[in-house]
Structure 1
């Protein structure tokens, strides 16, 4: 009888909905070996009961401590088969540990291409994908010269960064000069031409050889930057229908970035004037928020279980029929809505999956309350969104 696979889970408690990875891996017979800096008694009952063992470190940023935790697990359970956080923040830590313990998956040398936007652009271009013009800059004068080439407005963001944090739309020389005063010291920034387009994503999961076993997409009511700037409502959804061109470009990206036995979340611009797709960036991890749960509701399957099967036996067994659009609708505390949450339940109860409060750290974008719902048609979805976000 072969031994159980040893799966080291970095920060398995965050975000909360990712705890299901530990549950499904444990059910599939893995040794689930958690490492984080949270006291054991603060972990949820569900997580505690589905971790084979938990190693608390004082500081996850101290590599030596995390290394010693993995070494302890290797000594006790044998060779480590997987190390994974599914979290953008720990991508480099995961890779460093995999390199040092010779574990399958992205290693140190892969980080440049999947973490830095400039390198992503080069890989996109090499594979025939269109990208926004832009480059990194290291001095104020380099930024001034670059904006002369690109023209206002421009987008400035960290060359290696997550989400919309530390990202700015600069519309004038004055705003650029002001940026020099508040930019974060020590951060390498990239400047890009502003693209008037909507963001659409190509997301999914690959098997051990890099074949796409499941794909999906996200469409947004507006850019995250705009939501933050005006502190208003937003919604985003998993559509039933996904364009063939998006799938084609997504398949190129999966191959270009050697995505094997991993979730992926690739962002594209759909240019408003021409409808063409331009590659924006790659994220070699699951989409954030509740998206991974939205996949389950959109397809009536369990992607956490399918992932465990892929790692264990390289098998994906679910039939993908896409019976629903699934939408997340934000409700902000600072808005005056015509309809209460109870009204929404009463009118659309057969379509509502859940209504939940959102932790403060995410509320600026996701709203203090989030409504998760599914519909068979986009018209039904739009009616629900308009009702939920109607202002008095």
Structure 2
């Protein structure tokens, strides 16, 4: 059972590979059947449209329909962090293998993740739940400015701010969203390195990759700027060590994983940021494919259906992502980019509006065995008129 197979759009890739692996794929979503992509229609044996995907009764009615028609459901997945809690509830109610209600809180809240990182022996950012201004000021007295305040639950950098001094704290107090739970974190000066991959039903990591973010996503979102990042052909050994320890501590099985670490600029320490039991977002699954000349959608499906992800898969290329924003004036237009680097560009397309604040309005992916060349392409695409 695939929940929300139509959104994000790469749900069609996951459903297609499941069907090719021999699974019967059923879908629940809120888009009319005629609005589904042809490839997705072909992948789904049946699709049930509901009016409100947040409505538990609607979802339960769809489940009842499918169980009556098809029998016991073997897996329930959305591969989407937004539906993490609902996925766990359905698995619990219908005794479907996977993450259940009793564990999902540990994956939803950044404050709860710390216990598992501590268990794994991985350094974590100094953090405290935001209760009131007095508590924040006491935290600042211990760690000093700057600090970062972010929602305890959620992905991306929405509602995340960096406070440089008392005036920023005053501003945050005036604008923070009531009812939203926040955490305060010590600011880490570093880059983000991810540990992304697949862990099988026995707890074995069967594939791993890594992305490098030299920009702050928080700064990109708050400044409404463009984004770039890189998929690397190999995983930093210290990231690999920390990532494996985290997977073992969380004891996650038969899932994608996406773990974010800071690598400090000064002494290159690896510091845990957060863990997500889903594929890396945006175009990162495709970046993995371009970097490793593989089909990670197929590897996941084969792992779920046949307990065999294939491989081993070797990284061959550095893959870059560079987005552009509609409100920014760039030196080089689209045709100039294609003339200069057409042989290196593997994909370009508009970004879905819901993701555009962080990911840009339009983006390019490109690859090379030369990291310096990939960085040069980023500079060419994102060169801004003075």
Shorter-chain TM-score: what band? over 0.9
**d(CA) in 1 for partners of 2:168, 2:347:** 42
**d(CA) in 1 for partners of 2:177, 2:295:** 41
Are 2:163 and 1:170 aligned?
Answer: yes
Tell me which moved more, 308-317 or 87-96.
308-317
> Of 246, 251, 271, which aligns to 1:258?
251
> Residue 98 of structure 1 contacts residue 106 of structure 1 at CA under 8 Å; is this kept in 2?
yes
> Of 341, 359, 371, which aligns to 1:348?
341
**Structure 1 unpaired stretches of 5+:** 1-7
Are 2:313 and 1:320 aligned?
Answer: yes
Are 2:333 and 1:361 aligned?
Answer: no
Deviations 1:250-290 (A, max 9, x none): 00011111121100110011111111110011011001001
* Deviation of 1:354 (Å): 1.7
> Residue 114 of structure 1 contacts residue 257 of structure 1 at CA under 8 Å; is this kept in 2?
no
Q: How does 1:230-269 map to 2 (within 5 A)?
A: 230-269=223-262
> Residue 134 of structure 1 contacts residue 150 of structure 1 at CA under 8 Å; is this kept in 2?
no
Q: In the alignment, which residue of structure 2 is the partner of 1:18?
A: 11
Are 2:374 and 1:376 aligned?
Answer: no
Q: In the alignment, which residue of structure 2 is the partner of 1:5?
A: none
Deviations 1:141-165 (A, max 9, x none): 3333333323221111111122111
**d(CA) in 2 for partners of 1:156, 1:221:** 20
**d(CA) in 1 for partners of 2:372, 2:152:** 39
* Deviation of 1:294 (Å): 1.1
> Of 194, 200, 203, which aligns to 1:210?
203
Q: In the alignment, which residue of structure 1 is the partner of 2:96?
A: 103
Normalising by the residue count of structure 1, what TM-score does the alignment of the two structures yield?
0.95
**Structure 2 unpaired stretches of 5+:** none
> Of 176, 181, 187, which aligns to 1:188?
181
**d(CA) in 1 for partners of 2:150, 2:331:** 37
Q: How does 1:1-392 map to 2 (within 5 A)?
A: 8-392=1-385
Aligned residues: 385
Q: In the alignment, which residue of structure 2 is the partner of 1:3?
A: none
**d(CA) in 1 for partners of 2:225, 2:53:** 35
Normalising by the residue count of structure 2, what TM-score does the alignment of the two structures yield?
0.96
> Residue 150 of structure 1 contacts residue 192 of structure 1 at CA under 8 Å; is this kept in 2?
no
